[in-house]
A and B are shown apart, each in its own frame.
Chain A
Amino acid sequence: MSRPSYGPLSLLAASLLPALGAPAIHSTRHGLVCVGVLLLVSLVVVRDWSSTVRRLGLVALAALSLGLSTWLYGGRDLDVAAGATLRVLYLVIPAAVLTPFIDPTRLGDHLAQRLHLPARPVVASTAALQRLEALGWQWQQIARARRARGVGADGGILHRARVTASMALSLMVSTMRMSGSMSLAMDARGFGAAHRRTFAEPAPWQRRDTAILLGGVAVAALPWLYLVVTA
């Protein structure tokens, strides 16, 4: 049962810690230096570029639109707008880079075993999370079944909207049906009575987790250090 070898908690922390550093960024130059450093580090870390590029694209789009609105409504000051853009980039690039390494099942393991969150909700949530893709397929199945029966989504915009709304209800119905049968299947394997349970895989905190955490702290500190050094 091999999994990516990084602990999810350190990754999560490293994705969130930059939020402490970002507020320090105010000028364009400051932001460029910090974001530049982040991107350089990312070059080393990233394995799977296709997924990371998609995530970074999303992030860049959001940051740019924020920058544009800041420019329009924040006194049309280019430096302020660029600062805002770079601040957001600094905040979310780590998440875009690190998220592909986070495995929901491992996250569940660590939340329950390392942070000692109550096991039943955690296990139910990881079981539900692994149905994410199944729900994506479900949407396609619903679309398929409706198309085969002559009530699919094509035609005018209004018709499409109506069909999409009723498909959304169908998705919710499927969700509830899935929840029901999944609970049945879980209880059929003893989950109902399992107020305490063991876990098939351990949730170790490894040296590399400490390293990732320290990396996150460094990223949080970098903008402040820059301020101190340039002051």
Chain B
Amino acid sequence: MSSSVESQPNRASGGRRTTVLASRPLLGYRTVDLVSAAMLGVAFGVVFWAWSLVYNAPAAALYAVFPPLTALLAGPWLLAGVVAGLLVRRPGAALLAEVVAAAVSALIGSQWGWTVLLSGALQGVGVEIALALFAWRRFGPFVAVLAGSLAAACEVVFYEWWQYVVDFSWAWKLAYLGAFVVSGAVVAGLGGLLLVRALAKTGAANAMPPGQEELERSAV
């Protein structure tokens, strides 16, 4: 009957940083959760588009050195899911963001047409697996790196080996996977985590658990 006492966000203390969890039930998405995940997808869709415009030159250079190395540049494509997952902290947020981002690249004009939906979904699932392993209770560097790596692994093993680098030998395919995972772990995993923390610091993510963590830290 009153708008007064909303349920306090759940907390689980894990080391130095208090971790603020999404309000339970985990699937009780607020409007702002849904819209944020989808909007992050759109924003990263634009980033992907911008990245694809500059991607070709460095990719050609790496290709000349050793073709599987081009996968080192793939990290940015995995960012959407990791960032949405770490920010919204609910099951499905990463998947939603990745699928929306893929749809955006298809709509703007992607060289892979709507098949990007499939690879977006696979990357999103990779992140979801990582977060599910910790029951959406841990969001530190280890989880972030795992999420980036699993997104990369899903993408390569279930998609790119069969569609994109079909003509590579198996040794090359494995090297490709390795480079992709490294890029996913570093760029998408750690980079995504840093991005989330930077966002929280600006106060723009106050509605989200990381923003509330930041408020708690500065409240001391």
The answer to A–B direct touch (Cβ < 8 A) is yes
Residues from 81 to 139 in A contacting B, C-beta threshold 8 Å: 84, 91-92, 94-96, 99, 102, 104, 120-121, 124-125, 127-129, 131-132, 135-136, 139
The main secondary structure of chain A at its interface with chain B is: helix
Asked if A129 and B29 make an inter-chain contact with CB atoms under 8 angstroms apart, the answer reads no
A183 touches B35 (CB 8 A): yes
- Write out the residue numbers on chain B whose beta carbons fall within 8 Å of the beta carbon of A121: 29, 34, 38, 92, 96
CB distance from A161 to the nearest CB of B (A): 11
Number of residue pairs A-B, CB distance < 8 angstroms? 150
From the candidates B103, B115, B208, name the one contacting A129 in the complex (CB within 8 A): B103
Are A128 and B113 CB-contacts (below 8 A) given A73-B168, A176-B199? no
User: Which residues of B115-130 have CB atoms within 8 Å of chain A's CB atoms?
Assistant: 115, 117
Beta-carbon contact of B35 and A175 below 8 Å: no
Q: What are the interface flags for B17-51 relative to A under an 8 Å C-beta threshold, 1 for contact and 0 otherwise?
A: 00000000000011110111111111101110000
The 8 A CB mask of B161-195 against A (1 = contact, 0 = none) is: 00000111000000000000000000000000001
Chain A residues with Cβ below 8 Å from B115 are: 16, 19, 91-92, 95
Q: Are A95 and B106 in touch, CB under 8 angstroms?
A: yes
Q: Which of B42, B47, B167, B208 contacts A128 (CB 8 A)?
A: B42
**B109 touching A54 by the CB < 8 A rule?**
yes
Judge whether A169 and B195 touch: CB under 8 Å. Answer: yes
Asked if A172 contacts B31 (CB within 8 A), the reply is: no
B47 partner residues in chain A, CB cutoff 8 A: 168, 171
Q: Inside 8 A of A180's CB, which chain B residues have their CB? A: 32, 36, 204, 207
Residues of B within 8 A of A (CB): 29-32, 34-43, 45-47, 56, 63, 67, 92, 96, 100, 103-104, 106-115, 117, 166-168, 195, 198-199, 202, 204-205, 207-208
